[in-house]
């Protein structure tokens, strides 16, 4: 199995429980994880929308892992997604201060996955140029 396929599968597997923790039962999970009151309808709605975004990207990464045609687009979407989250968290660190320790771990993982994804994209593009 190619390393890129494994990478997409690991990212999908890692993001799925995070997505479900955000949106499956947000009033329970968000209170338990972070002390957030997600009981109001608008708050639950936002967390479930975030879950939907995460799960749709997970499905696209799975499609990219198993379908060559979507392999590179899946890697690009993973990089944009991971760096988008990580940079938003970094901004929050500067503006808001330190969050829960788990959110710091998420940020570090997001920067890591984004960086590895960029390296894989660059390697694939170099290989494609060498084949020409």
Looking at residue 129, its pLDDT comes to 84
Averaged over successive runs of 10 residues, the pLDDT of the chain (132 residues) comes to 92 96 94 94 96 98 96 97 98 97 96 97 89 77
How far apart are alpha carbons 24 and 39 in whole angstroms?
Answer: 13
The pTM assigned to this predicted structure is: 0.92
Looking at residue 1, its pLDDT comes to 65
What's the burial of 77, exposed, middle or buried (CB within 10 Å: 0-12/13-18/19+)?
middle
Looking at residue 132, its pLDDT comes to 72
Looking at residue 128, its pLDDT comes to 83
Joined together, the tokens standing for residue 102 give 């788990």
């Amino acid at each position: 199995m190619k390393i890129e396929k494994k990478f997409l599968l690991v990212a999908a597997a890692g993001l799925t429980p995070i997505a479900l923790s955000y949106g499956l039962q947000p009033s329970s999970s968000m209170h338990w994880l972070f002390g957030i009151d997600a009981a109001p309808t608008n708050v639950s709605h936002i967390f479930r929308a975030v879950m939907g975004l995460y799960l749709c990207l997970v499905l696209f990464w799975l499609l990219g892992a198993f379908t060559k045609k979507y392999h590179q687009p899946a890697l690009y979407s993973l990089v944009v997604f991971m760096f988008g989250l990580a940079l938003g968290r970094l901004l929050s660190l500067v503006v808001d201060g330190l969050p829960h320790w788990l959110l710091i771990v998420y940020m570090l993982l997001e920067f890591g996955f984004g960086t590895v994804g960029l390296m894989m994209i660059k390697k694939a593009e170099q290989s494609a140029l060498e084949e020409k």
